[in-house]
Chains A and B, each alone.
Chain A
Amino acid sequence: MFSVLLTACAPPLTTAQTQPHGLKLQLPENPKAVRFAVIGDTGTGGKEQYEVGTLMAEAHETFPFEFVLMLGDNIYGGKTPEDFKRKFEDPYKALLDGGVKFYASLGNHDDPNERYYKPFNMNGQRYYTLKKGDLEFFALDSTYFDPQQLEWLQKELSSSGGKWKICFFHHPLYSDARYHGPDTDLRSRMEPILQKYGVNVVLSGHEHVYERIKPQGGIYYFVLGNAGQLRPHDLRRAANIAKGFDTDRTFMLMEAADNDLYFQTISRAGETVDSGAIQKLKRAPY
């Protein structure tokens, strides 16, 4: 169970730092926290992707996140070296040159062999785990969630000592966007395991909008499939949504330490479209 302190319309958590684009960071900037960014459906090579990349680099100057999670559809269309350069290396060049690591998951527009592209840090695996401080991340391949992957996930989650367990993969289990909607078949297979083993946060893309879903079974779901792509006005008004945004691209910043995880979702215009804190409370064993 979690409580969320919504601060989108409230005074910022710290003294807001204003940056050249008017970007106001609203995160505690705890020096002990694990800091990361989240992007999804990025690989268009379009002007908007570059603008988000520039904004991320600007945010990084004040909020030096260590790594970026990629929620799939990392490279659209062709997969030539020029495509990788235009759709990934150049938009995020400042971050890459600054030593920020990118950890990718595979989307339906990705070639599964992107797992061999070193800058995606997948180490040749379609699904893998990643430990950062007290956080353990589980990158999954939702395009091909076969029995072997399900078994692997069960095993990894059951043995995880992470205080925060965060899964990231392409297809959302919950979404109120019109174009695709949630993948209920994937949900039927994955959700029981996520709940059983105490996953705290799930990050997905695929829908080209931003959504924060109300907690489902104790898990916070975010959809962020609009860091490159966008499907304007695709969100429905629905009971499940805590916050939605579908008129521009976004990226998200997160920091977690001890029992608190903070997030801030920022639009391409540098505006905060969502922010808050998730407090990790004791959960009864499943």
Chain B
Amino acid sequence: MSRTIPKRVHVFLLACSVTIASGQRVNADAQHIADFQQRVAAYVKLRNEAAAGMPGQKPTDSPGKMNNQERELAQKIRSLRPSARKGDIFTPEITAEFLRLIRLAWRSSDAARMKRSLARSEPVSITLHTNDAYPASIPLQSMPPTLLENLPLLPKELEYRVISHNLVLRDARANLIVDFIEHAIP
């Protein structure tokens, strides 16, 4: 079975080819992504510590139990990162790298489709705070697959979401806003 090269690799190669003359720039970009992945790994470690004392997540007939587990996990995570703030994961350097990747994607031939997808994804506007829950009654915007391909891969515990023009890192199981970049999406 043949495999096409994922789009994100195309973008990454494009990024490298644009800056290949400056070896330092390529290394810096890769370093920022590596830093991002380390910070994400640190969050996941903390999160798994929070989940350690809880019963394993299993399907249940009880929506109340489901909601309670979500809230309990979120509270435990908050207690382990009480002073978490915006920029703990998306540092200024990592933010700059993400903005560069997003702008590259926005200049690609897929840009028009991504914009349409976002425009039709029932955009919402909420005030974002690190460690907050995403409001249950407000729908999540769906993510254009091409945009996901152009961003660094995440572990299964986390997901990217676009909320208005902001890029949010969200803990899906805990329904927690882990960090975010404002005005990330053109």
Q: Which residues of A pack against B, CB within 8 Å? A: 77-81, 83-84, 108-109, 111-113, 115-119, 122-124, 142-148, 150, 154, 158, 170-171, 180-181, 183-186, 188-190
Which of A147, A148, A154, A184 contacts B117 (CB under 8 A)? A184
Binds A, one of B29-37, B52-60, B88-96: B52-60
Q: Are A108 and B139 in contact (CB under 8 A)?
A: yes
Task: Please indicate the chain A residues that have their CB under 8 angstroms from the CB of B70 in the complex.
Answer: 113
What residue of chain B has the Cβ atom nearest to residue A192's Cβ?
B4
Q: Are B6 and A147 in contact (CB under 8 A)?
A: yes
Q: Which residues of B pack against A, CB within 8 Å? A: 1, 6, 8, 57-64, 66-67, 69-70, 110, 113-114, 116-117, 120-122, 136-137, 139-146, 148-149, 153, 156, 159, 172-173, 175
Query: Chain B contact residues: over half helix, strand or loop, or mixed?
Result: loop
**Considering the chains assembled together, what is the distance between the CA atoms of A143 and B139 in angstroms?**
11
Known contacts A142-B142, A146-B149, A183-B120; 6 additional CB pairs below 8 A are A115-B59, A124-B57, A144-B142, A181-B116, A189-B145, A189-B146
**Considering the chains assembled together, what is the distance between the CA atoms of A115 and B69 in angstroms?**
13
* A146-B117 contact, Cβ under 8 Å, with A80-B63, A80-B67: no
Q: How many A-B residue pairs have CB under 8 A?
A: 109
* A181-B120 contact, Cβ under 8 Å, with A111-B175, A188-B146: yes
Which of B60, B67, B142 contacts A79 (CB under 8 A)? B67
* A145-B59 contact, Cβ under 8 Å, with A113-B70, A180-B120, A183-B120: no
Which of B1, B63, B139 contacts A117 (CB under 8 A)? B63
Q: Are B110 and A185 in contact (CB under 8 A)?
A: yes
Which of B113, B137, B139, B148 contacts A184 (CB under 8 A)? B113
Q: Are B64 and A185 in contact (CB under 8 A)?
A: no
What residue of chain A has the Cβ atom nearest to residue B151's Cβ?
A146
Q: Are A78 and B137 in contact (CB under 8 A)?
A: yes
Q: Are B146 and A185 in contact (CB under 8 A)?
A: yes
**Considering the chains assembled together, what is the distance between the CA atoms of A189 and B114 in angstroms?**
12
